[in-house]
Amino acid sequence: MEKETDKNALVLREDENMGSVQIADDVVAMIASLAATEVEGVSAMTGNITNELMSKVGVKKLTKGVKVDVQGQNVRVDLTVTLEYGYNIPATCQQVQTKVKSAIENMTGLSCSDVNIRIAGVTIKRDN
């Protein structure tokens, strides 16, 4: 039995004898962020200008560069990433999409319909 309790959490199961299981949207975003950064060629997650300004004043979130939209049992994810120079962009993005979709579905039981990626930049590693 699934229902939404508030804007930022989804109740997966509710049992009178055992209680309920809720997943916050930030947890789904964190799973997506961690899965994306595990892919070789992804340098970092990149936030929008608001996230960048907030991080400068000391407010940091692990979900920087991730937006999730949970509708019922379906999740849509938008990621903003910085890639490393020298990696094939389409292949790396496909790996990120596969890894993020798999991580969300395996860890939450939700269905991930879309993983949209925006590339904000490319970093170059310098040998010193």
Residue 53's Cβ-count burial label (10 Å; 0-12, 13-18, 19+) is exposed
CB atoms within 10 A of CB 57: 7
CATH code assigned at 64: 3.30.70.1350
Q: How many domains does the chain have?
A: 1
Q: With 80 as the cut, is the pLDDT of residue 73 above it? A: yes
Helix or strand run (H / E) with residue 87: none
pLDDT of residue 49: 45
Beta bridge partners of 115: 77
- Token pair of 125, please? 């590693």
16, part of any domain = no
Strands (E), 25-110: 42-45, 66-71, 74-84
pLDDT of residue 53: 47
33, part of any domain = yes
pLDDT of residue 1: 43
At 112 the three-state DSSP class reads: strand
Domain assignment of residue 95, given as a range:
25-123
95, part of any domain = yes
pTM of the model: 0.78
pLDDT of residue 117: 96
pLDDT tens-place string over residues 5-37: 445 677 776 666 777 777 888 889 999 999 999
67, part of any domain = yes
